[in-house]
Amino acid sequence: MALTASTTLSATAQRVTDVFADEEFVKHVSFTVGGELKSFEISGPTTGAFTTKTVRTLPTTRMPEIARKVVGATLTVTQVEQWSAPAADGSRSNAIKLTVAGAPLDVAAVQKLTASGESTLVELSGEVKSAIPFLGAKIASAAEPVIGKALNLQATLAQEWLNEHP
């Protein structure tokens, strides 16, 4: 199942990157969706190429019944992001991999930050896959809107965070 989203944030690409890689912001996103941040690691400064690894638990209350039966009341999600170094104009990309413990789901997405002066276009495209025979497509299609909303929520919360933390 395909994931797509885009939004424009009123901050430079570097500032948006700094927010997305801020542990307090990641904790805030987790809490906002009723989850809990278990761990956050960052390798390297956000001014160059770097990687983050986030592990969080998330409730499954908003997922369809079929998915809750498979995964239970909460999910443990590991999100690894590999950020490119910024281009000359500040634009950059971020390869995102999500894995869900105990669930046959894999999510691969690319997030592009396109610099445009004092604003940044954030575009996300990716795919949700499940390897279970027969039920895999149903599970992926049930998970896709939930994962898409979660990734979109991050951008919405980033704008609020930018406004509150100048």
Q: What is the pLDDT of residues 84-129, one digit of tens each?
A: 999 999 999 999 999 888 777 788 999 999 999 899 999 988 888 7
CB contact at 8 A, 125 and 4: yes
CA atoms within 13 A on the CB side of 138: 11
- The pLDDT score that the predictor gives to residue 126 is 86
CATH number of 2-161: 3.30.530.20
Q: What span, in angstroms and rounded, lies between the C-alpha atoms of 117 and 22?
A: 22
134-166 tens-digit pLDDT: 555 665 666 666 666 666 778 889 999 999 987
- The pLDDT score that the predictor gives to residue 53 is 98
Total residue count of the chain as it appears in this document = 166
Domain assignments of the chain as residue spans, ordered by start: 2-161
Q: Structure pTM?
A: 0.85
**In the structure encoding, which two tokens stand for residue 140, read together?**
């992926």
Worst-scoring range by mean pLDDT, 6-10, 72-76, 111-115, 139-143? 139-143
Mean pLDDT in the chain? 86
